[in-house]
Chain A
């Protein structure tokens, strides 16, 4: 067994990014480019055996819409039975942790507590709780779930739902009173997004200048729906606000490392014994690679093997960092390695 790096802040160190030191256990792409090898048979047993914690993206990995990926629940059941810690890390900001916990239960996955679920809504609320002065509020472009997560951590907020503004025209909106407590604009998935709300967000950002935070839950371009369709994602709304305000948002979600930091602050995580499982290269795999985790791509979501090969064959270091250590067609493929 390898030695474990120190607990607490050492686990959050950025130093692990790019360095793949191994002591004992399985050599996982030590030091060189990641190889995206199919994970099966002996390698699968070794890699899974050496891991304490698995982080799972949800959409496209565990389920698609309301349909569980065949065999996924069984595979996670065996991992849990083997004593692995299972956490769920998702950019989807339209659900609360409690709702995800309930969905996991409903689709037959091993019992999870909300503390195992790291959605971008919850993590954004945590971020604001630590970044805002006491009593400061957030103007929110987001869902009831995002509002609920803010409520749960005690961050005052306003904004969710349809814009409630006086008059039909921008000239009227520019006269609406601004709440003096607002010191942050938070952008999440918002089906009520409108020009009027964009106006208000811009007014708060201009009033506060650098003292008003601009935070986005994630940059995903599209939100997948059941049946293969997709609707515009939060990234579009973040871009609209960033363009109007001519400034860049702090992004909570993958591939940025803040959500991993949340996991590491809740649990004793050893990056060298942690596997990130996802279906998107530019969020799941990139975050996992940046945080020094072992990364496993599943092909039940948005990514094809051809895309990975394209990145592997490129000379560009940014594209190389999108390549996972391993892949499977589905996480059900892990079952044989987890048998008896």
Chain B
């Protein structure tokens, strides 16, 4: 079982030295709201100079990767390109493309997707070559082959009922971008997450959703396909035990918890003290107060 050791001093070099790359969650790790975590841009710069890869894996399904690339730049992070960013919006679109179009992405056949989510998510689904229910030729009798539940701040009872209508067809997939029950706001409040909306759709339809995001491993499959990452030489850095750290464990990565986001050290320690195997899987190998603490572990 992982032992949740503070990473500092000589330990930093021992762990970071052999690593070829790091996967970072974004919210609560690199930034909080509109503020970069102090030292985070410098860490990424130092990783680049050390020849280590930095890739980004986020459950946030609000933004397209193009928007995320602009966000990185706006918050002071240099050199992060859209191709380095794996959001649940992108990966859900890739997943649906695989399932509905057989990976061809040529836009013919495959049916439509009913998306519960914002324009960022809808754009990723379109970019994957899929057609959205409610768009285009209204005369098209093309069946809806998937309902995709993402972060939808315009979710309504009417949309819930509409989703259920499509899901009466057992051939229609139910997919969710991520399981997050809530997200923190910068003032300490919380806003409901995709997980709460998915729960409503599952309850109404009697179906279980296929969840693309962390802790499930599909996003790691996308990363491996594009960049050929070696799990034994890659570290996962995240702030949420139930998603980031479990994701790392599921993918065979060593994990580092940073305390600038959702999870508290006490929670990790409580999981460590638990008898349940499921709880123990949420314990990170290491923790830091902030990812800026990793900088001394890298070559000058």
* Complex Cα–Cα for A243 and B199 (A): 7
Find out whether the CB atom of B192 lies under 8 angstroms from the CB atom of A193: no
Q: A195-B152, A195-B155, A232-B157 are in contact. Are A244 and B203 (CB under 8 A)?
A: no
Find out whether the CB atom of A195 lies under 8 angstroms from the CB atom of B192: yes
* Complex Cα–Cα for A171 and B200 (A): 23
Find out whether the CB atom of B157 lies under 8 angstroms from the CB atom of A194: yes
> Please, which residue of chain B has its CB at the minimum distance from the CB of A196?
B153
Find out whether the CB atom of A232 lies under 8 angstroms from the CB atom of B155: no
Residues of chain A at interface, number, CB under 8 A: 32
- When each residue 184-204 of chain B gets 1 if its CB lies under 8 Å from chain A and 0 otherwise, what string results? 010101111101110111111
* Complex Cα–Cα for A190 and B190 (A): 22
Binding site for B on A (CB under 8 A): 169-171, 174, 190-196, 198-199, 202-203, 206, 221-222, 231-233, 235-237, 239-246
Find out whether the CB atom of B185 lies under 8 angstroms from the CB atom of A244: no
Shortest Cβ distance from residue A85 to the other chain B in the assembled complex, whole angstroms: 35
Shortest Cβ distance from residue A165 to the other chain B in the assembled complex, whole angstroms: 11
Shortest Cβ distance from residue A224 to the other chain B in the assembled complex, whole angstroms: 13
Partner of A174, one of B189, B197, B199: B189
Q: Assess whether B2 is interfacial by the CB under 8 Å rule.
A: no
Q: A232-B200, A239-B203, A240-B200 are in contact. Are A203 and B189 (CB under 8 A)?
A: yes
Shortest Cβ distance from residue B158 to the other chain A in the assembled complex, whole angstroms: 8
Partner of A243, one of B155, B185, B195: B195
Find out whether the CB atom of A193 lies under 8 angstroms from the CB atom of B157: yes
B44-69 interface (Cβ within 8 A of A): none
Partner of B203, one of A169, A170, A221, A246: A221
Find out whether the CB atom of B197 lies under 8 angstroms from the CB atom of A240: yes
Which residues of chain A are near B189, meaning CB under 8 Å? 174, 203, 206
Which residues of chain A are near B206, meaning CB under 8 Å? 221
Find out whether the CB atom of B185 lies under 8 angstroms from the CB atom of A198: no
Partner of A193, one of B153, B156, B199, B201: B156
* Complex Cα–Cα for A30 and B73 (A): 74
Q: Assess whether B292 is interfacial by the CB under 8 Å rule.
A: no
Shortest Cβ distance from residue B191 to the other chain A in the assembled complex, whole angstroms: 5
Find out whether the CB atom of A243 lies under 8 angstroms from the CB atom of B204: no
* Complex Cα–Cα for A192 and B161 (A): 12
Find out whether the CB atom of B155 lies under 8 angstroms from the CB atom of A194: yes
Q: A232-B164, A235-B203 are in contact. Are A244 and B181 (CB under 8 A)?
A: yes
* Complex Cα–Cα for A231 and B159 (A): 11
* Complex Cα–Cα for A265 and B160 (A): 38
Find out whether the CB atom of A199 lies under 8 angstroms from the CB atom of B160: no
12 example contacts (A-B, Cβ-Cβ < 8 A) are as follows: A170-B153, A174-B185, A192-B156, A195-B153, A195-B192, A196-B153, A206-B189, A221-B206, A236-B199, A239-B203, A243-B181, A244-B181
